[in-house]
A and B are shown apart, each in its own frame.
Chain A
């Protein structure tokens, strides 16, 4: 499904300083009933990440951390069962999972005396049962399950989507009888940076010749497109030695061609609509 730039911007408009919770997503769904939850979540997640990138620093000053921690301590003393941490995160406009991490770090610093390693923190966030303090464990868990943009669960969902779409794409290529080399084969050949698939025989789609396909299971806004271009696509290009490169979202210029849609594979009909739901296929064309 193709989302126009105007639609995209309308959605993004609604997401300004909205906490990344289940409730927000529900409201969004009511507002845009024609968009699938996956699309909305993807846009939400991306917009929210941009927001966090901008504001991240101010939550990490030692003063801020200290004041959050004190507020948390006061809150749980009053009522340990109340969603203290989650409310705090929403109030200061910070992702609950990230707030949980902040407080957990601070907590461990106080109780363990040595600065906790990153892997310890990550492991506690993945499994809050390991957190020595029961109240904090519950608070952290609450933050994590209520955060729809950050946290180990969300990361896992994103990773799963990426994997699923790679599989879908592979099936599609097999179905269309296109001969390709996948990432593992490429790596075995010694490529250092690999796209998901390199077509052994290029195909032409709507006037563009496609040499390779990279599926990104995320919404392709302008900003992330540029980042990917920089990080990955040019390096593929350098290695595949294609003389000229133009990459766009699924062949049509600009953002209007962005695709981010349904969570089910029902929409896949073939290469004519050369995108897959919920993912972006970025084609480098000759």
Chain B
């Protein structure tokens, strides 16, 4: 394996080739494809010789990176490198060598006696937040394991050397078979270590070089080293010539010395530790010490030692992550974040003196020689995974975007992250208000008729009371220190279970239990402590708004508690703990069986629920409103399923779990034979297959993972479940995030699946080799099965809220970053927002808010006692009316505003002239004027909901509904609809107005663009118009015919009659007056054609049909036609008429061909143009002037000059009457021209 990495580093093979090589191996495709055309044959040869090692490459790489980073992250990888190393060669054997690395999870199912330990764990974790810089590692179970394993340092160190610490002989070490009988190395999972020393499960521990100058009993925070800056200067220059520039400071202490120190430290600490089994809390030391003695080492991109090598490894690593070749995406991200936020480099003590410069053994020298290297590597990897990062929650994005190291190493990535942060709406809150209530009496199932006897009925009644009593007691006490569930409630629960004699009573109780479970725990987080009216008075006093703040505050205070590290073991947070403890305490076989039946049934029902599918076509504002509801519905179903499946898994595998180690050898075989006979409690394999086929993996897989997370060690070895794991593995591999296409899974859906699957693969009971082995039958999983076009997978059902709710451990990333910020707060100023305490003075003045909370609870109570259909109806009405309200607002208020915007824009354009100014600026001006009007939307929306909701509720509820119920239902519907609509409106109205105005502006500007004059006032046809005018297309075609006749060539018998011409112009007038069919381009062409026609008339070029003598148009007729044209131009054309074309050289040139030349028509036309105001004198003068520049025959030029002189000589503004009478007589121009 090392050979592969080395050849990569030596650039013998390309990264792409390596990734292809790995991916092929894991996909199990044929070897013949090895030499593909794009593969360099040399590369292929280099790699093919290593073929047998292919599947071990990824584990090797992961271990290698963890190994290399040990100096930076001195406490050892927090991330169990669930990479089996050599053990991959032993498929199907449980407990690989790194089994111990997950020893922390052995506390998963503590024996009841150990409850006190478990109870203390959260306390310990809560403290973790304030602890030292070692991120998350010391938190939760992981910390426990470290404390334990630290005692075995020498042994662990030895293992490290054997495992991968001496990579120069990789094949040797890899083929070393694990010593499975060594309990130290392969500790039984689930075993409770008998004592503080000696036989603790060990895991691969990276020796942590420690310096002397540490304060007492604060081992974690005291790792210091000489400042790295002194390193280069003290380095012999010869070393710098080494390609990897060793960068090891001289005078490193030997590792042995370090270990000695550590041992001393350990013993000191043990003396102080009150609970030797759980040394976690003591491991963490208070933060302040860091601020004093420890300063973070600044990272400098200029001081990265071996860029190229880091880039290569980062690229391979990123590619493995991108191809889902690593078991857990978020674990790797966590690791990378750790590198990014590494505080300081621990001095490398184990520098090899024989590592001489020039030796090209790339793996011999450390990959990360300084903080700079780590950060550089981390940033390189992060750059490749921007897409994933950009889909994290807003808080994480903010922290990332504000990370100064990131800015320093990759301003581009930082910029993109900042943009992603600014565009993100993914505010995630894990602490949701718990909706806790007792399950109401269900008339249809809880009535007497459903019980076999009166006695059973009454027993159940009593049991119900006992159950709630127990629940309330648990609520009151479970957070008290020293309170024990079993001690406090165990006997009462068992007594109650004992009364459940009849089988049917069991089913009744189980239904109650399950409903209560769903009710209390399905709310996201499910961890909320408030149940059954805990301190409601104080909270409701705060009002809804303040309550939200309180929850946020609470979330921030409690956050670290919610999960332990990036791969926490399955737990039962919050209320779920009650139900788990209840099941354990009851220890009733009947109850468990009934519970499993009931859970299975409910899971099947929910899993098969037809969830609405998203129509991807119409992405519009208001469809958001509808879609939000659907997304919420999906979230509720998914979370319910996960909860149910978790408990089903818990109960179903309960009998097989125990503290004893997983069996091996013959014993295991016999157990396997036995267990394979047992039918699964729920046919999850079929459900999974169906889910995949129907493209509903996003619903099925998350709950299945919950179910499987409680499996015992034997389960993954059973054929039935092995199939499931293989299916899941294939699915995992197929969820390549970068591949996005129509109809395929949405990004966040994939992310959710990757997160839950990655988590599952880290569960202790799942053999780690499973992930890297995977050579099962390939036909078991066909992604491209016949499936509906758009399954649930393709719908954007998952949002960040759901993702983080399902996988709270993703939040660890944020914590890591936050820890970094808080640690370096001295430098970067007050980064963490302070929590501003709110005073209670204003409370009295806000009775409405107080009553709001009460109202909400009243509504809950109201529904509680009504049939479920009533609630559904009310919610449905609220949903629809709310959505309609948004649409209504859009069609009325927003449309009005857009109209206003258009008129404002017109004004703006008029005042600013034709330029109009910068469109973006215009938009800003308009928006700033109009957006404030959006505030009306809320009032209008409220009014709309008020008006519409009651009628709808009334129509949908039964006629017989009592009036009081009806009016309450109506009021609630109004309230809910208003809330829904107003929430959407207040969040989106400004954006909506902005978007619409923007569209309107660009529309207007576009229309404005090419011909501003054409946009002038446009008259429609008169009211009496019946639109019988000839069609414009017909007219253009007709005029074109005349033009082509006139221009020729033509047959001798071709021509037009004067009547036809007159008729044509008449029709043109009609068409121009009836504007029904006229579009601007048609009008433009008509105008141009009419000008051409006029020119032909003036030049007398139109061939006239009729007696041969009358081949030409009569002068009077020509004038009449010209008059018609003039009046059309004056009266009927609404667009510009290109009259200057009349004096274009080409058209005037037409006159040159006529003999004798007649100028009077032209002169007449020019005068009329001026008189009618169609053209200015100056304009005509200019045209005439430019005519002189053209090349003309000599005599023609002279005549032209005469004409222009004549025209210019005329008085500027002659009397119209005079002109009219002059028309009759041959005017002076004609005489002159003819002379």
Point out residues on A near B: beta carbons under 8 Å.
Answer: 22-23, 38, 41, 81, 83, 86, 127-129, 134, 137-138, 141-142, 145-146, 152-153, 156-161, 163-164, 167-168, 171, 188-190, 239, 241, 263-265
Contact = CB atoms under 8 A, between A and B. Distances in A.
A163 B1047 contact: no
A153 B1040 contact: yes
B1146 A134 contact: yes
Contacts of B1141: 127, 129
A134 B1145 contact: yes
B1037 A164 contact: no
Given A129-B1144, A190-B620, A160 B1032 contact: yes
Contacts of A22: 1041, 1044-1045
Interface string B1007-1038: 00000000000000000000100011110110
B1033 to A, nearest CB: 4
Given A145-B1043, A168-B1077, 16 more contacts: A134-B1190, A138-B1149, A141-B1047, A142-B1047, A156-B1036, A156-B1081, A156-B1082, A159-B1081, A159-B1082, A160-B1036, A160-B1077, A163-B1077, A164-B1077, A167-B1076, A241-B617, A263-B1034
Interface of B: 615, 617-620, 999, 1027, 1031-1034, 1036-1037, 1040-1041, 1043-1045, 1047-1049, 1051, 1076-1077, 1079, 1081-1082, 1084-1085, 1088-1089, 1138, 1141, 1144-1147, 1149, 1153, 1190-1191
A127 B1138 contact: yes
Contact of A160 (B1033, B1076, B1149): B1033
9 contacts: A83-B1049, A128-B1146, A138-B1047, A138-B1146, A145-B1043, A164-B1033, A171-B1027, A241-B617, A264-B1031
Given A159-B1081, A163-B1077, A241 B615 contact: yes
Nearest to B619: A190
Contact of A142 (B1031, B1048, B1089): B1048
A160 B1047 contact: no
Nearest to B895: A188
Given A127-B1141, A129-B1144, A160 B1040 contact: no
A171 B1074 CA distance: 15
A146 B1153 contact: no
B1081 A160 contact: yes
Nearest to B615: A241
A77 to B, nearest CB: 16
B1036 A153 contact: yes
Given A160-B1032, A163-B1079, A146 B1044 contact: yes
Contacts of B1149: 134, 138
A242 B434 CA distance: 44
B1049 A86 contact: yes
Contacts of B1082: 156, 159-160, 163
A159 B1079 contact: yes
Say what secondary structure dominates the interface of chain A. Answer: helix
A161 B1044 contact: no
A142 B1149 CA distance: 14
Contacts of A265: 1031
B1031 A129 contact: no
A86 B609 CA distance: 73
B1145 A129 contact: yes
Nearest to A140: B1146
Nearest to A168: B1077
Contact of B1047 (A145, A158, A161, A239): A145
A127 B1034 CA distance: 21
A211 to B, nearest CB: 14
B1047 A146 contact: yes
Nearest to B618: A190
B1031 A156 contact: no
Contact of A145 (B1027, B1034, B1044): B1044
A137 B1191 CA distance: 14
Contacts of A264: 1031
B619 A156 contact: no
A241 B789 CA distance: 12
Contact of B620 (A83, A145, A158, A189): A189
Interface centre among A23, A158, A161 (most CB of B within 10 A): A161
Contacts of B999: 188
Please name the 9 residue pairs, one residue from A and one from B, whose CB atoms are nearest each other, closest first: A129-B1144, A160-B1033, A160-B1082, A145-B1044, A156-B1085, A163-B1079, A164-B1077, A161-B1033, A145-B1043
Contacts of B1077: 160, 163-164, 167-168
A22 B1049 CA distance: 10
B743 to A, nearest CB: 12
A164 B1076 CA distance: 8
Contacts of A157: 1033, 1036-1037, 1040
A141 B1036 contact: no
A137 B1149 CA distance: 11
Contacts of A190: 618-620
B1088 A127 contact: yes
Interface centre among B1045, B1138, B1141, B1144 (most CB of A within 10 A): B1144
A156 B1077 CA distance: 13
Contacts of A145: 1040, 1043-1044, 1047
A141 B1153 CA distance: 16
A146 B1048 CA distance: 8
Contacts of A239: 617
B1146 A137 contact: yes
Contact of A23 (B617, B1027, B1047, B1051): B1051
A41 B1033 CA distance: 12
A128 B1138 CA distance: 13
Nearest to B1138: A127
Contacts of A146: 1044, 1047
Interface centre among A145, A158, A161, A189 (most CB of B within 10 A): A145
Nearest to B1039: A153
A134 B1191 contact: yes
Contacts of B1076: 167
A160 B1031 contact: yes
A97 B1141 CA distance: 21
A153 B1085 contact: yes
A159 B1032 CA distance: 10
Contacts of B1040: 145, 153, 157
Given A22-B1044, A127-B1138, A160-B1032, A189 B1079 contact: no
A86 B1049 CA distance: 9
Contacts of A160: 1031-1033, 1036, 1077, 1079, 1081-1082
A273 to B, nearest CB: 19
B327 to A, nearest CB: 39
B1134 to A, nearest CB: 16
B399 to A, nearest CB: 36
Nearest to B1076: A167
Contacts of A138: 1047, 1146, 1149
Given A129-B1144, A156-B1082, A164 B1047 contact: no
Interface centre among B1047, B1084, B1145 (most CB of A within 10 A): B1047
A192 B44 CA distance: 48
A167 B1149 CA distance: 41
Contacts of A137: 1146
A164 B1032 contact: yes
A159 B1037 CA distance: 12
A119 to B, nearest CB: 12
Given A127-B1088, A153-B1036, A164-B1077, A263 B1031 contact: yes
Contacts of A41: 1037
Interface centre among B1037, B1081, B1082 (most CB of A within 10 A): B1037
Contacts of B1047: 138, 141-142, 145-146
Contacts of B1048: 83, 142
A264 B1030 CA distance: 8
A73 to B, nearest CB: 18
Contacts of B1027: 171
